[in-house]
Every structure is written in C-alpha cells, then in structure tokens.
Amino acid sequence: MASLKDLRNRIASVKATQKITKAMQMVAAAKLRRAQEAAEAARPYATRMGVVLANVTSTVSGTDAPPLMAGTGKDDTHLLVVATAERGLCGGFNSQIAKLAREHARELIANGKQVKILTVGKKGFDILRRDFSELIIDRVELREVKQIGFANADAIARKVIGLFDEGQFDVCTLFYSEFKSVISQVPTALQIIPAAVSVDEEAEEVAGGAVYEYEPEAATILADLIPRNIAVQVFRALLENAAGEMGAKMTAMDNATRNAGDMIDKLSITYNRQRQAQITKELIEIISGAEAL
C-alpha cells in the first residue's frame, strides 16, 4: 500500500494535470469558434465550384476533356491523400481518418490495385507508417503554420497534380474529417482526380435552362478550373480538419478534466482513510503503553 507521502504526491500531480487539461480545453474552445466559422464559410464556395464545374463539363465531349477530368483511362494506381492534424490529445479524431484510409487501402490492395499514400499532417504519418510505411511516397507537415491559408492548400494541390503529370497514379482520393458539431466529426473520402462531377439539379438551376457559349472554349476553361477546384477541395478539407480537431480536443480535454477530478476524489478518500487508520493505530499504541505502566 502506498504511503501517505506517495498519496499526497500523486494527488498534487493529478491536480497539476487537471489544471493543464482545463487550460487546453479553454484554448480549444477559444479557437473552435474561429475555425468553425472558417470551415462553414468555405463550404458554399466549394459546393458552388463543383456545380459550376459540372455545368461546364456537360458541354465538353470525352475527347476534348482535360486529363485531370477524364483521367488516364485506368484505375490501376491509386494515390490516397490523408489529411490529419499535426498534434494529438484530440481523442479519436486522427485515428478515425486513418482508419478510413487504411480500410480503403486494404480494399484496393485486395483487388490487385497499387496504392500510394501522401500524408498531410504529422499524426496521419505516424499512424499509417506502422502498416504502410513502404507505400508512403511523401509527407506534408503544417506544424509551423499558425493559420491555414489557401496558399498551403494550393501547394499541396500542385504537388498532387505534379505527381499526376508524371504518371505516378491514375486516381486520387482525399481523406479528411467533415466537421458536424463539437462532438461529431465524420471521416470523409472525396475523389478529386479524375474530377468526380455530375450534372445535378443544382447545376441545372445555375444554368437556368439556357445554352451558354464559352470564350475561350470550355475545354480551355476546364484546364484552369479543375486545378483550382482541386486546391479548393483541399483547402476545404484542411479547414474542416482544423475545426474538427478543436472540437475533438475540446471534448477530450473536458473528459480528461472530469476524470482527473474523479481520480482526485478517490485518492483523497484513500488518503483520508489511511491517515485515519494510522492515527487510530498510534492512539491504540499509546493507550496500550499507558495501561501497561
């Protein structure tokens, strides 16, 4: 059984940890609002970009379509871009994204496909290298970036497009976590190359039933629009991850603070019982000695 001194030291240690987790919860809560606003503000633009892309795509035949939209005509080699957080202490946020990417990779491998992985974020690299270290071809870390900007997403998009131009892969899928609420982040897989577009009702609404003539030609517009759309989708994924990370960290630190409080209560009860038992024992020894005299 631990001594009273050991129990006092442990209680003091848990109290110090509780202060840290409480401070981290408050910091995450302060950052969450700004990150959530940024993620929600990016959604309409990303969605509208997809609608415009679908509308322009509907006017282009298969032979005139740019390679980023038409693809290579094969799906033998897949590139998985796995975007996670740079830091931990956010519950299962990073592991859920990595789990979705891991399951997708294993399914592709089982079907005889070649898989390559590009990680964005330190935690994704740390998790995936345990099982797929030989499949990771590159990694991007944003640890030094104080605030995610479009330039960061554009650099990642250019890296992916450069690999596609070199013939390194046929299909590219982006993995990230879509922010729903503080307690809910949904791991998501989005195919960005070839551009997965469909002419839906919203695209038809944008067109308004009219027939447009493009200047320059639609194929030329797509050649510039699709790379930008890839950067926009990556940017949205980074913003969604930033909001999801703060939400998950806020929840995790709140749980840790509560658990620390419960542990302090239990240790205090144990300390008080042991202290009382020691006092009682000393009193019995004193009384026994006095009666012996």
Residue-wise pLDDT tens digits, 221-243: 777 888 888 999 999 999 999 99
Token readout for 187 is 């791991």
Catalytic annotation, residues: 90
Token readout for 40 is 């929600």
pLDDT above 90: residue 219: no
In terms of domains, do 92 and 199 share one?
Answer: yes
In terms of domains, do 189 and 74 share one?
Answer: yes
Query: What integer pLDDT is reported at residue 207 of this predicted model?
Result: 46
Overall number of domains in the chain = 2
In terms of domains, do 101 and 12 share one?
Answer: no
Indicate whether 28 belongs to any domain.
Answer: no
Q: What is the mean pLDDT of residues 109-126?
A: 92
Query: What integer pLDDT is reported at residue 197 of this predicted model?
Result: 61
Asked if 271 and 11 count as a contact pair (C-beta separation under 8 A), the reply is yes
* Angstrom distance (rounded) from CA 17 to CA 13: 6
Indicate whether 279 belongs to any domain.
Answer: yes
Q: What is the mean pLDDT of the chain?
A: 85
Indicate whether 212 belongs to any domain.
Answer: yes
Indicate whether 56 belongs to any domain.
Answer: yes
- Tell me the helices (H) and strands (E) count for the chain, helix number first: 7, 5
Indicate whether 27 belongs to any domain.
Answer: no
In terms of domains, do 14 and 68 share one?
Answer: no
Indicate whether 193 belongs to any domain.
Answer: yes
Query: What integer pLDDT is reported at residue 225 of this predicted model?
Result: 84
Which CATH number characterizes residue 262's domain? Answer: 1.10.287.80
Query: What integer pLDDT is reported at residue 77 of this predicted model?
Result: 92
In terms of domains, do 210 and 259 share one?
Answer: no
Indicate whether 26 belongs to any domain.
Answer: no
In terms of domains, do 58 and 141 share one?
Answer: yes
State the number of CA atoms in the 13 A half-sphere of 233 facing the CB.
Answer: 29
Least confident window among 45-49, 163-167, 255-259, 270-274: 45-49
- What's phi and psi for 136, nearest 5 deg? -80, 115
Indicate whether 135 belongs to any domain.
Answer: yes
In terms of domains, do 262 and 120 share one?
Answer: no
For residue 272, what are the domain limits?
A: 4-21+253-292
DSSP state at residue 112 = T
In terms of domains, do 152 and 279 share one?
Answer: no
Query: What integer pLDDT is reported at residue 210 of this predicted model?
Result: 57
Least confident window among 31-35, 76-80, 216-220: 216-220
Asked if 133 and 153 count as a contact pair (C-beta separation under 8 A), the reply is no
pLDDT above 80: residue 288: yes
Picking from 259, 281, 279, the residue whose alpha carbon sits closest to that of residue 271 is 279
Q: What is the side-by-side order of every strand in the sheet holding 77-83?
A: 136-140, 114-120, 77-83, 171-181, 184-193
Picking from 92, 70, 79, 90, the residue whose alpha carbon sits closest to that of residue 120 is 79
In terms of domains, do 273 and 243 share one?
Answer: no
In terms of domains, do 59 and 193 share one?
Answer: yes
Count other C-beta atoms under 10 Å from residue 163's C-beta. 19
Residue 292's identity, in one-letter code, is A
In terms of domains, do 228 and 257 share one?
Answer: no
Which residues are CB-contacts of 63 (< 8 A; sequence separation ≥ 6)?
none
User: How buried is 179 (Cβ within 10 angstroms: 0-12 exposed, 13-18 middle, 19+ buried)?
Assistant: buried
Q: What is the mean pLDDT of residues 118-128?
A: 92
